[in-house]
Structure 1
Amino acid sequence: MVLVNFIVEDIMKDQLLKALVLNEHVRLYIVRTTDLVQEAQDRFDLHPCACAALGRTLSVASMMGAMLKSEEEMLSITINGHGPIGSIVVDAYANGNVRGFVSNPHVEDVLIRPGKLNVGAVVGTDGTLTVTKDLSMEENFSGSVELQSGEIGDDFAYYFTLSEQTPTAVSCGVLIGTDGRVASAGAMILQMLPDATETDISICEHVLEGLKPMSTLIQEYDDSSLEALANDMFEDAKILTTQPVAYDCPCSKVRMARALGTIKKSDVLEMADKEHGCDITCNFCNESYHFTEEELRAIASKMHD
């Protein structure tokens, strides 16, 4: 009898890494988002430029969500540069999970050169990047900055530096393969902590100058780990945590029923009488929920005139 050992490789899934580097003077976040960006593309039939723009925003948002202090907190990001893609809207949660959409998922692609998407051209620069944090307090925190390039990474770096007074470098990228699907996606944030020195800043600048595009790095380290990438970037990287992240929308038929309960009772009854039901689609995940005529009447029966 011949025994055959099968080695099943653990395919790297989307994950987020938090670390401290340079004598713990600098905070490092790295996230792999290939699968969740692919899910966004599948859900909305995103064309390449739309996929790159939304994917970059989802990637940075995942790291920003992980910066929140409690599971009850969340943040929303809106980017509108008045370009042909329209608005980019993303929600991020403290566990690093995200959801989002763009106004025009089928925006016509613009190229800088063959094989290089011009994300800034479809996003535009005549507008703002706004971050609204729901910290479970009486009022939400909101910060807004003018768009710098529409390329997403530069715009987030400007937001952190100006709105949150934290010198920050942001790199993000989405690589679309020749088959039109997401080959790799991810992002990185380097943040100077209060005790960071000029030497620390110079070292970070040197590392960033020699860094390959983020999508290339994610692709090259796809068979290893984000820990390996962090250690290759900084010899003294102290890994704090790694956690899985995903495209996750908490919508449900129950929530959609609550939403129906916020409109006029007469409108709900009209849908029951004339349409004999209705379908509601979630903007954030494109999931559709059907309500029968009986379900609509049951909702209306609990509403005030």
Structure 2
Amino acid sequence: MTDYLVRIISKQGNVRGLACVTTGLVSEICQRHGTLPTATAALGRALTAGTLMGALLKTGQRVALRYEGNGPLKKILVEADSNGSVRGYVGDPHVHELRPDGKLDVAGALGRAGFLTVAKDLGLKEPYRGTVQLHSSEIAQDLALYLVESEQIPSAVGLAEFIELDGTVAAAGGFMIQAVPPVDPEVVEELMARIEWMPPLSELLHAKKSPEEILELLFAGTPYDILEKRELAFACSCSRERIERVLISMGKKELASLHEEQHGAEVTCEYCGEHYAFDESDLDRLIAEVK
């Protein structure tokens, strides 16, 4: 199934909804980082969360989510843009913790104390930043808390994945519902009630339910218009040219030290795992370019 997102708006009640399938991009990114199941679940949910947040932006804008906790995962970083591109990584990909009931313990792996920071590049001089303390350490619940506390937008967020016994991602995706002022309380209550009785999101995704079908379940009986369908994909903005600019910014002294002591340099992108190697002749060229 191709990864894509659908965005709708209700005909009454001023409620917008988004739903997406992110199986392919979550699988690719987790494979690149070699994540174990609990780390896969945590990173996968955060990637889907970033995808949903990115879909709310205008063309050319970007959003970054940073979950930092005191658990073994340490942190989760995700970046997404308005075009459906997303990338991300987790502090320690080799974390696998289970709850007493045998389910993946994402909250425990992230840690019960920490912060969620959302940064939006809106094309202004400085990015907008909002931070909330982790409340439940569940990726979806804490994002909904951020939206209410920092952006004053009542929101419901659902994120899920289905991981096979061998650790592969069989399904991933999520939804977001937001009430936009003026809010009709009755419509919002009906939507919240549907979220309570609908089947678990992981089951819907594993059954190959599409974003349209998930939204139909959530908005059953509530008329709405489809605003857009958007393809989603993993994409990293790193390149050899960008890494060269970073190395040049270190200055002649640091580059000369790399040349003399290590006879080269190797840089790995945290987001995609791509390796960039620079030999002595490359460093000579970069040293010559330093102003």
Q: Please give the range of the TM-score, normalised by the shorter of the 2 chains.
A: over 0.9
| Count of aligned positions | 289
Out of 103-112 and 294-303, give the one that drifted further: 103-112
Q: Tell me the equivalent position of 1:104.
A: 92
Q: Which has the larger radius of gyration?
A: 1
Task: Note if 1:227 corresponds to 2:215.
Answer: no
Alignment-mate amino acid for residue 203 of structure 2: T
CA contact under 8 A between 2:41 and 2:161: conserved in structure 1? yes
Report deviation, 1:229: 2.6
Matched-pair identity in %: 35
Q: CA RMSD in A?
A: 1.4
Secondary structure in structure 1 of the residue aligned to 2:95: coil
Q: Tell me the equivalent position of 2:124.
A: 137
Q: Tell me the equivalent position of 1:70.
A: 59
Q: Tell me the equivalent position of 1:43.
A: 32
- Partners of 1:60 and 1:281 in 2: CA distance: 25
What are the equivalent positions in structure 2 for 1:271-282 lying under 5 Å apart? 271-282=258-269
CA contact under 8 A between 2:264 and 2:279: conserved in structure 1? yes
- Where does structure 2 lack aligned partners over 5 or more consecutive residues? none
- Partners of 1:61 and 1:202 in 2: CA distance: 26
Secondary structure in structure 2 of the residue aligned to 1:84: coil
CA contact under 8 A between 1:97 and 1:245: conserved in structure 2? yes
Report deviation, 1:55: 0.7
TM norm structure 1 = 0.91
What are the equivalent positions in structure 2 for 1:93-242 lying under 5 Å apart? 93-114=81-102, 116-222=103-209, 225-235=210-220, 236-242=223-229
Q: Tell me the equivalent position of 2:8.
A: 19
CA contact under 8 A between 1:77 and 1:91: conserved in structure 2? yes
Q: Tell me the equivalent position of 2:67.
A: 79
Alignment-mate amino acid for residue 28 of structure 1: G
- Partners of 1:24 and 1:203 in 2: CA distance: 11
- Partners of 2:218 and 2:120 in 1: CA distance: 31
- Where does structure 1 lack aligned partners over 5 or more consecutive residues? 1-11
Alignment-mate amino acid for residue 147 of structure 1: L
- Partners of 2:43 and 2:260 in 1: CA distance: 39
Alignment-mate amino acid for residue 80 of structure 1: E
Report deviation, 1:112: 4.1
Kindly provide the CA deviation profile for residues 177-200 of structure 1, in whole angstroms up to 9, marking residues without a partner as x.
112100111111000011221111
Moved over 3 A (4+): none
Specify which of 259, 277, 285 is matched with residue 290 of structure 1. 277
Alignment-mate amino acid for residue 53 of structure 2: M
- Partners of 1:60 and 1:67 in 2: CA distance: 11
